[in-house]
């Protein structure tokens, strides 16, 4: 990025006295169109599609070829003027249509379908929060019903499997 482009998305600025300012302005709009409320057809794609439609986008894979060479990890969007690329920044989100999942660019890579959260609330009610200490498995005692113990063990096992309680 240079002084002629924006810091976050590398959008071209219109310079004072610049000839054909509409070109820089239109290029910036095309890049914004790719990045804002981003949605892509698929992720981890290395080969550009043969017949893309204007406005279709993909997340470029790790080993791109052809017109996408050198654009690993970028959002590639087809326009009337050819391919445009948006380099992702930390926190950029895109809907990945073929997987029906959100992708988030984090720590230098796209993470598809992974949700990081401190708390999950549904209807204002916390349903998942920070993992708490392990619940001990019932043991010993002469009056514990065997079926109740098996049911409790099964519940604890499922909670541990899902990572909701410590193993």
pLDDT tens digits for range 100-129:
999 999 999 999 999 888 888 878 877 787
- pLDDT of 1 over the 50 cut: no
CA distance 42 to 39: 9
Q: The pTM is what? A: 0.68
Six-digit token pair at 12? 């071209």
Taking each continuous run of H as one helix and of E as one strand, the counts in the chain are 2, 9
Q: In the chain, pLDDT over 90 holds for what percent of residues?
A: 40
What pLDDT digit, counting tens, does each position of 42-93 carry? 999 999 999 999 889 999 999 999 999 999 999 999 988 899 898 998 999 9
Q: Are 159 and 165 in contact (CB under 8 A)?
A: yes
| Residues in Cβ contact with 25 at an 8 Å cutoff, skipping those fewer than 6 apart | 14
- pLDDT of 21 over the 50 cut: yes
């Amino acid at each position: 990025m240079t002084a002629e482009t924006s810091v976050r998305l590398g959008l071209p600025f219109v310079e004072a006295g610049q000839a054909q300012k509409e070109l820089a302005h239109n290029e910036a709009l095309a890049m914004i169109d790719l990045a804002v409320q981003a949605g892509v057809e698929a992720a981890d794609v290395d080969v550009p599609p043969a017949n893309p439609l204007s406005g279709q986008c993909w997340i470029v894979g790790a080993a791109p070829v052809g017109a996408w060479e050198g654009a690993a990890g970028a959002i590639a969007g087809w326009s009337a003027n050819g391919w445009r690329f948006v380099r992702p920044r930390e926190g950029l989100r895109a809907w990945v249509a073929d997987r029906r999942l959100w992708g988030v660019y984090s720590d230098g890579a796209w993470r598809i379908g992974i949700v990081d959260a401190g708390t999950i609330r549904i209807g204002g009610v916390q349903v998942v929060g920070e993992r708490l200490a392990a619940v001990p498995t019932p043991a010993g005692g002469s009056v514990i019903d065997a079926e109740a113990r098996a049911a409790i063990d099964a519940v604890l096992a499922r909670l541990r499997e899902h990572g909701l309680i410590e193993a």
